Amino acid sequence: WHEIGWCIARCRDFLSSYVPIKDIPGSPTLCTAMLEASRRAGTGPMAAVAGAVADAVGRELSHVLGARELIVENGGDIYVQTTQGVICRVFAGASPLSGQVRIHIPKEVSPVGVCTSSATVGPSKSFGRADAVTVVAADAAFADAAATAWANRVKSQDDIAPVIEAMKDQREIIAGVIILGDRLGFFGDIPISFGP
């Protein structure tokens, strides 16, 4: 958190902006990843914080320990490195679909970020109403910021299909899930399944 504090001390917008901001000269690697992810997703830098931390910790542990199987979870934002594949369940608060949707992460896309944003779960600010928007992408900082950006656009169940279609155009996204109430939208080249 020292690195993030350093950036906030030099630029208050790093903490408060809901849109991308300019680079901060001399910013630490973690903050640079957040700034870049926010630009790619169209959000403020803090929309990428949990994913960026998970990604940085995961990659450092992999480097230092030589770990081949590694999962780092940070408040619903996950860095996954696997040689066998893993299954991630989507928590969507009070939705009847919460915990019922399983995203299968094959070893071929590893390492990967699996990040979720919600208007109904947790303290994060959302301008939408989604119970969960989950994004799978090659890096967790971008997956986190993208989940926030797309969750902001889901105001009703009628938004699920058009937002899924728009997400498909963001080539960095491997897969996406949207849950609002009893409705679900999904796209991607990786499988999902359902069940307790």
Write out pLDDT tens, residues 183-194: 999 999 899 999
Burial 153-163 (b: 16+ CB within 10 A, else e): bbeebebbeeb
Identify the pLDDT of residue 39.
97
Identify the pLDDT of residue 142.
98
pLDDT digits (tens, 9 = 90+) for 30-64: 999 999 999 999 999 999 999 999 999 999 999 99
135 close to 28: Cβ distance less than 8 angstroms:
no
95 close to 110: Cβ distance less than 8 angstroms:
no
Identify the pLDDT of residue 140.
97
pLDDT digits (tens, 9 = 90+) for 11-26: 999 999 999 999 999 9
Q: Could you say which DSSP state residue 171 is in?
A: T
Entry pTM: 0.94
Instruction: Give the chain's largest Cα–Cα span.
Output: 48
Q: Could you say which DSSP state residue 139 is in?
A: S
153 close to 140: Cβ distance less than 8 angstroms:
no
Q: What percent of the chain has pLDDT over 90?
A: 91
Average pLDDT, the chain: 94
d(CA 27, CA 41): 20
Q: Judge whether residue 150 has pLDDT over 80.
A: yes
Q: Judge whether residue 196 has pLDDT over 80.
A: no
| C-alpha closest to that of 177 among 80, 97, 73 | 97
d(CA 27, CA 10): 9
Q: Which residues contact 138 (CB under 8 A, 6 or more apart)?
A: 109, 111, 112, 113, 172, 174
Q: Judge whether residue 125 has pLDDT over 80.
A: yes
| C-alpha closest to that of 164 among 181, 148, 172, 176 | 176
